[in-house]
Amino acid sequence: MYLVISEKPSVAQSIAKVLGAYKKEDGYLSGRDCIVSWCLGHLAEYAMPEAYDDKYQKWRFDDLPIIPETWKLEVARDKKKQFSVLKNLLTGKFFVPIDYVVNACDAGREGELIFKRVYDLSGSRLPVKRLWISSMEDDAIREGFANLKSGEEYKNLADASVCRAQADWLIGMNASRAYTKTYDYRLTVGRVQTPTLAMLVQRGEEINHFQKKQFFIAHVMKDGLDAVSEHLENRDAAEQIAAACNGKDAEVTDIKRETKSVAPPKLYDLTTLQREANRLFGYTAKQTLEYAQSLYEKKLLTYPRTDSQYLTDDMADTAKAMITMIEKLLPFVPEADCKTDVGRLLNSKKVSDHHAIIPTAEIAKLDEDSLSTAERNILYLAANRLLCAAAPKHRYIAVKAELNCSGYLFTASGRTVSEQGWKLYEGALKKYLRADDDKEEAEDAHTLPDLEKGQVIRRVGSKVTEHFTQPPKPYTEDSLLAAMERAGSSEMEEDVERKGLGTPATRASIIEKLIASKYAVRKKKQILATEAGSKMITLMPEYLKSVQMTADWENRLLAMERGQTTEEAFMADIYSLIERMLSDCRALPQDERQKFSGDKGNRGVGKCPVCGGPVYEGKSNFFCSNRECSFTLWKENRYLSSMKKTVDKKMASELLEKGRTHAKDFYSAKTGKNFEADLLLIVSDDGKTSFQMEFPNRLSGKKKE
């Protein structure tokens, strides 16, 4: 009897069906010779600092660095029942003895981490085998189980996943606390999040500081021809040229025709799929990943969390069969006599964990009504990209003409398509889906009239147009993903496809974290740094916001996966980085620490009386920044409402600093008049608040809530 553990219940059901495990139990499925169970995503996470020592409930710089000697894992409250099932299965506490366990979590670094945490936390000693597949099709599952590998073969990948997670925890916990306490300004620091934010901030500064320049262009026109002058800084000069040419003859002094081509695009990896879906449909990276994952679990799409745009060398027949199937089945495919070349899609050397995203043979059974509109769009994109990638080049003739009119030089450019090639499929899909592509063409696509050298064009018209230089465009999800992918490429090994900030599987969550932290905001398709995000980057040292550090870490993690470096060497560098950061914080002069002391909008109103963390103002309350702390001071509360009084920011600040505040406008329902008194704040150990009232000018004392 063997045990199979997948990442999600839906995946477990697909595997159980193939293995014949049909009997439903509480938290697992059982068959004649196997049991199939599941995690619920990340069942276990590294514990918060206070789980190691109660003193960490309060944020104090002197308690840093926080470096666990033995790492603790905690199971989320809503997942404890399923973990209990897995633990009992893994440790033989069920009546059926288990010979070995199959790690069937998603085949990648995160899947390895999810399984390892559950396995380690359970205390299991069962031998581990690894299922590594790129499709949830029945045949792929059968083949995968027929070729199970020893879990030891993936030890390096598991080590890299653990080091990545521990490094992120150490940087996040230590840096966030260190800089928050140093500046008395709430900050959330992340290994990948911070350099990504730095890119957003830099782009915003480039736009804000951009000085637009005006220029003018003179045109000569006749029968569809529009030739333009060079850019002119002076309107009068442009008007003079236009006046000199109006009604005059223009001669074609030179004409160049050049045959050009545009190579087909590569197949989708996750990042390019997310970029295209954002550009065409406005989907966020997170949404696209969710839709693609759903299609994978429905067996219609191969594994989406891939960083490769190629298929392996042995997949030529698969690609040919899939192209034929798509051409016959899917409604957007135009009739075309295009020769396909699947050879350009194959390159095993450029496939790391998984090959590129393509549809599976299950599309032969596709019921479109079972898909949401978004899922259909993503499936069609992947199918159409396979057609495009195997299709011929797009070919055209680029024409550039030079004209002389009244001694002034003008140029005109255009193109004539000679072979649509892969763009035939691209255009057909966009038309079918009615998708708006906001991608700008690099060259003008209009067609010029037939021109020959020496030709004279009689009595041309003229005009002047006004233009301005354009600032850089704000990042969209499309362009930000591209920038994250390219970032730090010069620091990466040449033969490594996984480059830049984060991985294809994590970039969506990084963007969402920036938005959740209010360091960035979505404005339609644009992603913009907020004021808080800009100030955050101003405070960070260069090495924490530099893409070079993240690129270097990714290189080291990849080296660890290959067995070229050790956990100890990697983590030693992380510890050194934390010490450098803390040392830099200690060395900051006092005036630098008070850099934002005048920023009342974003600074805390005081320190939490329970844990010592910063307290911030919300819409209806003042709350502790520490999510694990329950302290809240409500602006409107039952005690003060009878006195027609609410807690404002000044009162809250005094209550937190001194435990009391004085006011002259408390209302007495008994007398119908206002009175003055001191309001005292009482806070219990569990964060609950109450009030007392003290009358300094009276002999008798206090009114208690």
Return the amino acid letter for 2.
Answer: Y
Q: Please answer whether residues 414 and 227 qualify as being in contact, where contact means their C-beta atoms are separated by less than 8 angstroms.
A: no
> Which H/E stretch holds residue 179?
helix 155-183
Structure tokens at 20: 């014949």
From 272, 172, 287, 176, select the one nearest 522 (Cα to Cα): 287
Return the amino acid letter for 271.
Answer: T
Helix, strand, or coil (residue 628):
coil
| Strands, E assignment, 354-506 | 394-405, 408-419, 456-457, 461-468
Under DSSP, the state recorded for 440 is P
- For residue 440, how many other CB atoms are within 10 A of its CB? 6
* Residues designated as active site: 303
| Strands, E assignment, 28-170 | 28-30, 34-38, 44-46, 73-75, 100-104, 128-130, 149-150
Distance CA(303)–CA(294), nearest Å, equals 10
Distance CA(304)–CA(355), nearest Å, equals 9
- For residue 439, how many other CB atoms are within 10 A of its CB? 10
Helix, strand, or coil (residue 73):
strand
Distance CA(454)–CA(402), nearest Å, equals 10
Distance CA(284)–CA(475), nearest Å, equals 13
Distance CA(466)–CA(89), nearest Å, equals 74
Provide the terminal-to-terminal Cα distance of the chain, rounded to the nearest Å.
Answer: 64
Q: Report how far apart, in Å, the C-alpha atoms of 5 and of each of 19, 24, 139, 531 are.
A: 13, 15, 19, 45
Distance CA(272)–CA(505), nearest Å, equals 12
Return the amino acid letter for 623.
Answer: F
Distance CA(273)–CA(332), nearest Å, equals 18
Angle at 299 between CA 293 and CA 301, to 5 degrees: 60
Return the amino acid letter for 442.
Answer: A
Residue 671, CB half-sphere, CA atoms under 13 Å: how many? 7
Distance CA(386)–CA(394), nearest Å, equals 15
Residue 442, CB half-sphere, CA atoms under 13 Å: how many? 2
- For residue 283, how many other CB atoms are within 10 A of its CB? 21
Helix-helix angle 373-390:270-281, to 10 degrees: 120
From 233, 165, 234, 259, select the one nearest 503 (Cα to Cα): 165
